Amino acid sequence: MGLVRVTRDDKGGQAMLAILMIVAVVVPLLNLAVPASSPWHVSTYTVTLLGKYLTYALLAVAVDLVWGYLGILSLGHAAFFGLGGYAMGMYLMRQIGDRGVYGHPVLPDFMVFLNWQELPWFWHGFDLFWFAALMAILVPGALAFVFGYLAFRSRVTGVYLSIMTQALTYALMLAFFRNEMGFGGNNGLTDFKDMLGFDLTSDATRVGLFLASALALALGYLACRFIVTSRLGRVAVAIRDAEARTRFLGYRVDRVKLALFTFSAMLAGVAGALYVPQVGIINPGELSPLNSIELVIWVAVGGRATLYGAVIGAILVNYGKTYFTGAFPEAWLFALGALFVVVTLFLPRGIAGVVGMLRTWRRPRSSNGSQPEARG
Amino acid sequence: MSRRDPIKPILLCAGLALGVTSGLVAHAEDETIKVGVLHSLSGTMAISETTLKDTVLMLVEEQNKKGGLLGKQLEAVVVDPASDWPLFAEKARELLTKDKVAAVFGCWTSVSRKSVLPVFEELNGLLFYPVQYEGEESSKNVFYTGAAPNQQAIPAVDYLRDELGVERWVLAGTDYVYPRTTNKILEAYLKQNGVAEEDIMIDYTPFGHSDWQSIVARIKRFGSEGKKTAVVSTINGDANVPFYKELGNQGISADEIPVVAFSVGEEELSGIDTKPLVGHLAAWNYFMSVDDPANAAFIETWHGFTKDDKRVTNDPMEAHKIGFDLWVQAVEKAGTTDTDAVEAAIIGLETPNLTGGTAKMLPNHHITKPVLIGEIQGDGQFAVVWQTDAEVPGDAWSDYLEGSKDLIADWTPPIKCGNFNTKTQTCLGSQTP
Amino acid sequence: MKAVGQLRESMRKDRQWSFMYSLLDVELDLSLGVILYLEGVSVSFDGFKAIDNLSFYVNAGELRCVIGPNGAGKTTMMDIITGKTRPDTGSAYFGRTIDLLRLSEPEIAALGIGRKFQKPTVFEHHSVFENLELAMAGDKRVFPTLFARLTGEQRDRIHEVLGIIGLQGQTQRAAGALSHGQKQWLEIGMLLMQDPHLLLVDEPVAGMTHQEMDRTAELLLSLEGRHSVVVVEHDMDFVRSIAKRVTVLHQGSVLAEGSMDEVQNDPRVVEVYLGE
Amino acid sequence: MPMSPTRTQRRAPSPSWHGLLWGLVLLALIPLNSLADALDAALIDLSDRSFEVKQAAVEVIAVSGDPRALKVLEALLDGDLYARTSDRRPVLAAASPAGFRLRDALEGTDLGEADRRDIRKITINNRMRTQLRSAIAALTLASPDAVLRLSAARELLGDPDPLVVEAIRAQFEREEDKQVRDSLALALALASLRDEDPEARLSGVSALAGSLDPSARNALTRLLGEETDPHVRAGAQRVLAGIEQKLKLNAAAETLFFGLSLGSVLVLAAIGLAITFGVMGVINMAHGELIMIGAYSTYLVQQAMPGLIDYSLFVAIPAAFLIAGLLGVLIERTVIRFLYGRPLETLLATFGISLILQQLVRTTISAQNVAVQNPSWMSGALQINPALALTYSRLYILVFALLVFLALLLILKRTALGLQVRAVSQNRSMARALGVRSARVDALTFGLGAGVAGVAGVALSQLTNVGPNMGQAYIIDSFMVVVFGGVGNLWGTLVAGLTLGVANKLMEPWAGAVLAKILVLVFIILFIQKRPRGLFPQRGRAADG
C-alpha cells in the first residue's frame, strides 16, 4: 500500500520504471540468448555501457533529492560516489589475492612496488564483501553526516554550502592523489579479476551487474519517492521555499536537511559501488569537483524536483557524451557547454518541465499554476 | 495530474534505449583493416596526445600510399577518451568489440594504460604503447615501444656522474606512479653505487604544481653545500614551465645545477621560452635534431602531412613509427591480423631507428633503443651531448626493485609469461587470458 | 573575549547535543497569570540600539496591541521572543520558568509561541490544506514526520481551521495562487494549527481591503481568551477596533501603556506621532 | 648590507683552469708565430664534432694571450659563434636579408653574405660553459670593467691554486671597487684557511665571520673536519655558529616572502571574483577562463611585437583588461542578466561558458601550451645578501597585486560607478527607483571583474603555463579566498589571500605541497562553519536571513 502512495500521481515515474523493467528484461536476453552474429544481438559492451548509465542515473536521483526538493546544491556528490567506488574497489583489489603481477598473497601490486610492508589498517576487512558493501554506504554517509552536522547547524546555506561542498570534494581528490594515502594514488585501483567468485570479464557477470544496477535504481527511486511523498517530503519543499517559516513552525530544519543529505550521500555511495566493477577502475579523477558540477547538470537537463527527470537527464547527457566523443571529438565540449547554458536559460525545469509548461499553456492558471523556480 | 504527462519521457527513454542498442551494435566491414587510435583529444592530456593521433593518421596514410596491407587499405578509427581514465577503458572496449580494430595505437599516461589493460587482455586485442614509462609490467596484449627505466633514467644518471662529476642528487617528480617507480629505481641504483643517504633528496609535487619557490630554494641550498649537484626531474609536462622559470629566476644555471628531465621533449619545449633553460638536459631515445637521413625524411613527411613546417617531432612519435612498422611487418609475416598470430610473429622483428641503429622487438614486448642525452638549446631543440654506443634492450622488470628483481617477462614458449619468477620458476598472477 | 563567548556557546549541551534535550519535560507555568516576561532587554546592530532596556509583559489570554513609529523596534522585539535574534542583555521568559534565550526557534515554536510575519510567508508550492497540515501541532522530529499519517480528528481540526479563516473553498489551491488577504488568513490559520499559547501577529492587515480588515478583526477577537495574542499594527482604526490594552514602543523601549484612549491622550505619544 | 642586482654566479673550482695559468707562465718561452699557428689550428678545432677536441681548443685559445681571444670565447659562450662549412673558420653571423652577414670571429673583418646552409652553429656543453666562464674570468680579472672583475672574482672563489691566489692578491692590492674588494677579500680568506700557519688560518676564520656566502660555510665545515689546532677549531666553531644563526633568519625571511608572493598570486586570481561573485553574487565558474583569456592576450601581444618583449607587458595589461572585460560584458548581457537572484543557476551556466571558452582556445589557437616570454627586467633576482635573493618576477607581481587592489578600491569607493555598483548590489529595486540604470551598472561591474581577471592572467602568464586548462587551476582557490575573506569585502579578499599564501608556505616544509593545500582547505571548511560569513562579514540586519 506504501507502493501505491509512492507511485500515485507519478506518471513520469511509472513510465520510467516500466521502461527500466523492459530494458532489464530485454537487454540481457538479447545479449545472452541471441547469437552474436544476429543483428539483434546486444554486445556486452552495450550492456556494460547501459549498466554504467544506470549507476549514473541513481547518482542523479540522489542529487535531485537534495537539490530539487531541499534546495541544497551539493557539489560533494562526486566525492560520495567516489568513496562508495573506492570501498568496492578495495574489495575487488583484495579479491585479486596472489594473482597480482608480483604474486604477493595479500598486498595489492601498487603497495608492493611502493615497498609497503603490510596492509594498512584501513584495508582490513575489505576482503569480505558484506563489509565492503557496508562501507560503500557508511563511509559516504558518515562524511555527509559530519559535514552536514557542522554546516546545517551553523546555517551555512545556498552558495556558501555549494562552495564548501566543492572544497570538500577538492580536498578529498587531492588526498586520494597522494600515494602515501594507500589508495593507489593517481592510478587508483584497477585490474580487477572477480567479484563474489564470478569472473568480472564474463558476459554473465556483466549482465548480473547490469541487473543489479537496474534494481538499485528502481529501489533508490522508490525510496526517494517514498520520502518526497511523505510529510517529510513536504517539509523539505517547505524548507526549500521558506526556511525561516518552517523553523517557526517548530521543525528542526537542520535535522531534516542532515537526514536527507546523509541518505542522499549513501545512495551516491551505492551508485559508486555498482559503477566501479562495471568500468573496471576507480581513481581520484572521479572525485573531481568538475564531475560534481556535471552531474548537477544531468539533473537540470532532466528537470529537477521530479526524480524521474534526473534519470532521463543522466542517461541522455551520458549517451550524448559517448556518442559525441566518438563522432565529433572536437565538438563535444562545445555541445556540452552549450547544453549547460541553454538548459539553465530556457529550460529551468528541464525536459520534464517542458511537459509541465505544455500543460499550463493548455490550462492557464491551473491548480498548481505558478512555475516553481526551485531556488538554492 | 493529466495523462499527457508521461508521454514525453516514455518516447525519450524508448528512443534512447533503441538508440543506444542499435547505435552501438554495428558491424565491421572487411574491405579494410581497421587501426584504432586511442589518444585524448580533449581534457588535460590533449596537449601531448593530439600529436600522436596525427602521427598514427600519417603512418596509416603513408602505408596506404604503399598499397596498404595484405592487399587491403588501412582505415584509422579515432576516438576521444577525453583524458578521462574510465572512458579510456570504455573506448578501448568500443574499438575492439564494435569497430573490431586489428590493433590499437594509444595511451599516454600510465593510469590510462592500466585502465585499458584488462580490456585488452579480456578481448585479446593489441595495444602499442609509445610513451616512456615506469616498467613493472608486461602484458601479452601490449607492446611497449617507449623507454623502460633502464633505457632512460639509469643511462642519464651514469652520464651525470661520469661526465659531469655529480655527487649529490635531487630526485624531483610529480606524485604518480612513473616518477615514484623511477625514483625508487634510481635511489636503489645510486645507493648501490655508494651514494650516501644524505646526498639524495627526493621530492614529490602534485600535478600541475605551479608554485616552486620553496622547493627550488631547497634545491639551491642542497646544491650549495660543496658537492656538485644535479636534479633528476620526472616532473610531469604542465608543471615544468613554472619549475624551469623559477630555476632561472633564482639564478640556478645549467652548469651549476643541471636538470635532466625525462618528460620534457620538443613538444613540451614548444610551449616554453627556452632561453632560461639552455644547457639543461633531457634523456630520450630520439631527438628531432639528430641528423640522420631517416629522421630527415620522417620530419619532412610530418611537415608535409600537417602542412606546417613549424611542427616538431618527438620521442613518442618515433615510438609510434617503430611500433607501426613492426606491426606491419608482423602482419605481413603472419599473413593475417589475428592477434595471436601477430603477437607470435612480431617478436624478433627489427626496424631501423630514426636515429640510426635498429629497434628489435624483444620477447618481453619491449624494444631495443639507443639512449641519447641532449642539452636544451635556445631554439627549443636539443643538442646531443652523449649517447650509448649500442642499443639498450628494454627491461620490463627492474633489477633494482625488491619486488621485481627476480622477475622476467618472456612471451615465447616455453615460458610464455609476463611476470616469471626465475627463483621459483613460476608464472605469477594470472596473466594468461 | 568574544571568542570565549562563542566557545561557551558552542559547548552548550542543549545546542551541541540538542537531541539529548527533550522539550516535553518543561511545563509552561502561568501561576502568576503572566505568559511573557521581557525584562531589561537591549539589542544593537552596529551601534544602533534597536531595543533599549525594554521591559514588556503579556498576561495569559489577553489580546495586546503594540504600536509605534517605524524603527521603534516592534519587529526586533518579536525576533527576540521567537529566538531569531539574541539580545545583548536582558532576559525573556515564557511563563515563569522557561528561559526563551536558551532555546532555538524550533524549540520555541514547539513550546507554543506562533509567529506571523510582517510579509505574509506561506509555502507557495503547497496547497492550502498542506500548509495547514505542515503547521499542525504534533511530533515534528524527522522520522515521525517521515511516517506521519493524518488521523481523522486531525483532518477535522484542519477543516475547522479552514472554516475559521474562511478558506474552505480553496483547500486544494496552491497557496502561491491566493490573494494577499487570503495569504494573511492562511498564515494566521497556520498559527492556529500549532494551537500556541501565544500568538505574535505582525501587521496582519497590511494591504487589506476594509472588508478583509473587518474579517481579520473578528478572527483575532475570536482568539482572545483561548490564546494570548500580541498584535503589532500601524493602522490605528484597526487597532482601535480590537484593542483592550495598547503598548506604545519608541526608540526601542516602552513609551506608554494602557487603554487606547489613555494612550492616545498621552502627550508624549502625541508628540512622537506628530513629530513624525 | 650591499645591494647589487646581479645574478648569483658561483660554481665549484674548475680543474681545467690550472693548466691555463701554467700556460701563461710558459708563454714567454714559445715563439710568437708558432703560437699564432696554434691559435689558428685551435679556432678550426672549435667546429670539431667531439667536445674533447673543442675543450682542448678553448684551452689553447685562452692561453694564447691574444687580446682578441676573449671576444671569441665570449661569442662561443653566448652561442653566437658559427663555423663556415667551406673552411670551418669560426665566424660571427648576423641575420640579414640574404640570409646571414658573416664577420671573422678573430679579426672581425667582414666576410660577406652567406646562406644558412653555408654555416653551422658551434654547439657547446655544460663542461665547456664552465671552462669558458673561468677562462673568461681569469682574462677579465684585471679588466677595467668592475662588473667583469666582480664576476671574475666570484668565479675564482675558493680556488686553492697558489697561482690563482697570487693573482687575486695582486688584484686585491690595486682594487678600489668596494664590492670587488669584498669578494676578493673573501677569496683570500678562504685561501688562507688552507695555510700551514695556524695564525693565518685563524685570521682567515675570523675574516669569514658573518659571511653568508655558502663557500665560506662549506670551507669552515671542511676545516672543522680536519683542523687540529684547538684555537682555530674554537674560532671556526664560533664563527660557524654565528653564520648558521644568520642563515636561519634569512631562511625565515625567505619563507615569508614566498608566502606573500603566493598570496599575491591568490589575491590577483581572486580579486576579479571578489567583484563578480562578492559584489554581484554571480558564481562565475568561467572566472578561471577569463584569467586564461588574459594570459593568451599577453601571448598574442608578444607575437605582435616580437622585437619589444621588454615593453610587451605594458601593452598586454590594458589589452587583456579590454579583451577580458568586453568578453565579460558580452557574457553578462547574453546569459547572466537573465539569472539574477538565482545564483546557483549562474554557477551552471557559467560552467558551461567555461567549457566553451576552453574548447574555443583549443580549436582556434592550439591544444598545446604557448610560450610567453619574460621581459629581461622580470627575470633574475634582487640579491639582498648571498643567502637571500628575492626574484624580480615575484617581487613585481606582489607589487602589481597591491596596485590592482588599490585601483579597484578607489573605483568602488570613489567613483560614480562604484557608488552605483554598491547601491545596486545592496538594493536593486531601490537603486532603480533612484534612477540608477541597473542594467548598465551590472554589465559594467561584471565587465570590470572580468577585466581584472584578465589583468591577473597577464601576471600569471609570467609565472606558469599558458594553456587551455590554466583557468581550472585557479577557480577553486579563488572561491576559497573570496569566501574566506568575506563576500563583498575587498579587504577581506586581500587579507584572506595573503594569509592563505603564508600559511601554505609555512606548512609546506613539513607537510609537503599537497598536504599543506589539503590542510588549508579543511581549515577553511571548518572556519566557515564557525563564521559562515568569512573574516570580514557584511554586518547588520541586511546580512542575516
Nearest one of A223, A179, A200 to A276, comparing CA atoms = A200
Mind listing the pLDDT tens digit for each residue in B88-130? Answer: 998 999 899 888 999 999 999 888 998 999 899 989 999 999 9
- Cβ D348 vs Cβ D341: under 8 Å: no
Chain C residue closest to A368 (CA)? C174
Per the document, the length of chain B is 433
Lowest mean pLDDT among A361-375, D157-171, D178-192: A361-375
C172 burial (CB, 10 Å; 0-12 / 13-18 / 19+) is exposed
Query: Which residue in chain A has the smallest CA separation from C189?
Result: A249
C160's enclosing H/E stretch is helix C152-164
Confidence of residue C2 (pLDDT cuts 50, 70, 90): low
C-alpha span between A371 and D486 (Å, rounded): 33
To which residue does cell 556483466 refer? A206
Contact assignment for A159 to D530 by CB distance below 8 Å: no
Check D359 against A333: CB less than 8 A apart: yes
Neighbours of chain D (3+ CB pairs under 8 A): A, B, C
Domains of chain D by residue range? 7-79+122-202, 250-367+393-540
C170 reaches A (C-beta below 8 A): no
Q: Do B115 and A190 touch (CB under 8 A)?
A: yes
Q: Tell me the mean pLDDT in the region C126-131.
A: 90
Cβ distance A249 to C125 less than 8 Å, yes or no, reads: no
| Contact flag B249-D394 (C-beta cutoff 8 Å) | yes
CA-wise closest residue to A101 among B250, B431, B368: B431
User: Given this model, what pLDDT does residue C227 score?
Assistant: 84
- Residue A133 touches chain C, beta carbons under 8 Å: no
Please, what is the angle between helix D490-511 and helix D472-485, to 10°?
120
Q: Which of A159, A178, A334 sits opposite D344 (nearest CB)?
A: A159
| Touching partners of C (3+ C-beta pairs < 8 Å) | A, D
Residue B189 near residue B157 (C-beta atoms within 8 A): yes
- Label residue A264 by pLDDT band (50, 70, 90): very high
* pLDDT confidence band for C13 (50 / 70 / 90): very low
Nearest residue to D1 via CA among D384, D380, D381, D257: D384
- Contact by Cβ (8 Å): D388, D255: no
**Contact between B90 and A279 using a beta-carbon 8 Å cutoff:** yes
**Average confidence score pLDDT of chain A:** 87
Residues from chain A that touch D349, judged by Cβ atoms under 8 A, are 340-341, 344-345
Q: How confident is the model at residue A361 (pLDDT cuts 50, 70, 90)?
A: low
Question: Amino acid letter at D390?
Answer: L
Confidence bin at A282 (pLDDT 50/70/90): very high
Tell whether C147 is within 8 A of chain A (Cβ).
yes
* Average pLDDT of the segment spanning D32-42: 71
Count of structural domains, chain C: 1
CB neighbour class for C168 (10 Å; exposed up to 12, middle 13-18, buried from 19): exposed
In angstroms, the CA B193 to CA B305 distance is 47
**SS3 assignment for B402-416:** CCCCCEEEECCCCCC
Provide the total of helices (H) and of strands (E) in chain B, helices listed first: 12, 19
Considering only CB atoms, B251 lies closest to which of D79, D222, D389, namely D389
pLDDT exceeds cutoff 60 at C24: no
Give pLDDT, residue D23: 53
pLDDT at D426: 76
Query: How far are the Cα atoms of D194, D198, D235, D243 from residue D228, in angstroms, in the given order?
Result: 13, 9, 12, 21
Residues of chain D neighbouring A166 (CB-CB closer than 8 A)? 476, 479
Sort strands B200-205 and B168-174 into parallel, antiparallel or unpaired.
Answer: parallel
pLDDT value of position B170: 95
pLDDT of A376: 36
pLDDT value at D115 more than 80? no
Identify from B40, B177, B406 which residue to disrupt to test chain A contact, counting A C-beta atoms within 10 A and taking the largest count. Answer: B177
Q: Which whole number is the average pLDDT over C210-230? A: 85
CB-nearest partner of D351 from A330, A340, A375: A340
Out of A210-214, A238-242, D438-442, pick the least confident.
D438-442
Chain C residue numbers touching D539 (CB-CB < 8 A): 45-46
Listed in sequence order, the DSSP H helices in chain A are: 2-7, 11-32, 44-68, 77-96, 109-113, 129-153, 158-177, 203-229, 231-241, 243-248, 253-279, 289-302, 308-327, 332-346, 350-362
**Cβ count within 10 A of residue D331:** 25
Chain B partners of D462 at a C-beta cutoff of 8 Å?
245
**What mean pLDDT is reported for chain D?**
81
Domain ranges across chain A: 41-288
The CA–CA distances, whole Å, from A107 to A104, A112, B118 equal 6, 6, 19
Write phi, then psi, for C209 (nearest 5 degrees): -75, 170
For residue A215, pLDDT over 90 is answered with yes
- Rounded mean pLDDT, D350-363: 90
Residues 151-190 of B with CB under 8 A from D: 163-164, 175
- Residue C132: closest C-alpha in chain A: A249
Note the pLDDT tens digit of each residue in A69-84: 999 999 999 999 999 9
Q: Which H helix or E strand runs over D92?
A: strand D90-96
* Percentage of residues of chain D with pLDDT beyond 90: 25
Query: Mean of the pLDDT values across residues D512-524?
Result: 88
How far off is chain C from A1, nearest CA to CA, in Å? 13
Q: What is the mean pLDDT of residues D3-7?
A: 40
Query: Among all residues of chain B, which has the CA nearest to that of A308?
Result: B9
Chain B interface, best mutation among A46, A88, A104, by max B CB count within 10 A: A46
Whether residue D31 is predicted with pLDDT greater than 60 in this model: the reply is: no
Contact by Cβ (8 Å): D13, D190: no
Domain D250-367+393-540: which topology? ABC transporter involved in vitamin B12 uptake, BtuC (1.10.3470)
Q: For chain B (length 433 residues), average pLDDT per consecutive 10?
A: 43 48 46 92 80 94 92 91 87 90 93 91 93 90 94 91 90 88 90 91 86 90 87 86 86 86 86 80 92 90 90 93 96 93 93 92 94 88 87 90 84 87 79 41
CA dist B9 and B11 (Å) reads 5
- Which member of D530, D540, D545 has the closest CB to residue C46? D540
Do D473 and B210 lie within an 8 Å CB cutoff? yes
Inter-chain CB proximity D540 and C84 less than 8 Å: no
| Facing C140 at nearest CB: one of A227, A244, A250 | A250
Chain B residues close to D369, C-beta within 8 Å = 47, 238, 241, 268, 271-272
pLDDT band at D538 (very low <50, low <70, confident <90, very high): low
Residues D239-276: tens digit of each pLDDT: 888 888 988 898 899 999 999 999 999 999 999 998 88
Asked if C231 and C242 touch (Cβ cutoff 8 Å), the reply is yes
Q: In the predicted model, is pLDDT for residue A98 greater than 70?
A: yes
pLDDT of residue B327: 96
β partners of residue D121 = D82
Q: Do A245 and C121 lie within an 8 Å CB cutoff?
A: yes
Measured between CA atoms, how close is D157 to chain B, in angstroms?
A: 12
Q: Dump pLDDT digits (tens) for C231-276.
A: 988 788 888 888 788 898 888 888 888 888 888 888 888 887 765 4
Question: By the 8 A CB rule, do D481 and D500 touch?
Answer: yes
User: Which of chain B's residues have a Cβ under 8 Å away from the Cβ of A19?
Assistant: 10, 13-14, 17
Residues of chain C contacting residue A230, judged by C-beta atoms under 8 Å apart: 145-148
Least confident of C135-139, C191-195, D424-428: D424-428
Chains D and B touch (3+ CB pairs under 8 A): yes
Residue D18 has what pLDDT?
52
Identity of residue A310: A
Taking the alpha carbons at both ends of chain C, their separation in whole angstroms is 40
pLDDT for res C180: 84
Sequence-distant (6+) residues with CB within 8 A of B294 are B352, B353, B354, B356
Average pLDDT over residues C84-107: 87
